[in-house]
Amino acid sequence: MRRKGSRYENTQAFSEEKGFSGYRERRLSSPRGVVEHTVLHTDRLDHLANDYYKSDRRWWRVMDANVEFLYGFELLDEGMHGDVVAIPASREPRK
């Protein structure tokens, strides 16, 4: 079930006749209002989200802005210490 305001709200479902009832991928646009964050060895996605958005549940915004990383553990891997990642605005502007 897609709730209003969910990041999946406008995502199309797969055809149920195909035997899979999940959602298709979300379309990502270039984020606006990006700031740069230098990765520390102590960083975690939920902590970054809490620091920047005051909600640890918005960690996926950081992942959406750094599309070169497929998994969260890659973004904050030990080898990323000192590298810069993008932190987008908390919400995209309404169209």
Res 76 pLDDT > 90: no
Residue 85, pLDDT score: 94
Question: What single string gives the DSSP state of each residue in 15-46?
Answer: PGGGT---BPPPP----SS-EEEE--TT--HH
User: For the residues 23-47, what does the mean pLDDT come to?
Assistant: 81
Q: Which two tokens stand for residue 75?
A: 């973004």
Residue 4, pLDDT above cutoff 90 = no
Given a cut of 70, is residue 26 above it in pLDDT?
no
The architecture in CATH of the region 30-87 reads Roll (3.10)
**How far apart (Å, rounded) are the C-alpha atoms in residues 68 and 55?**
24
**What does the domain layout of the chain look like in residue ranges?**
30-87
Question: What pLDDT does residue 80 have?
Answer: 92
Please tell me which residue, 67 or 36, carries the higher pLDDT value. Answer: 36
> Where do we find the tokens 């620091």?
51
Residue 45: pLDDT above 80?
A: yes
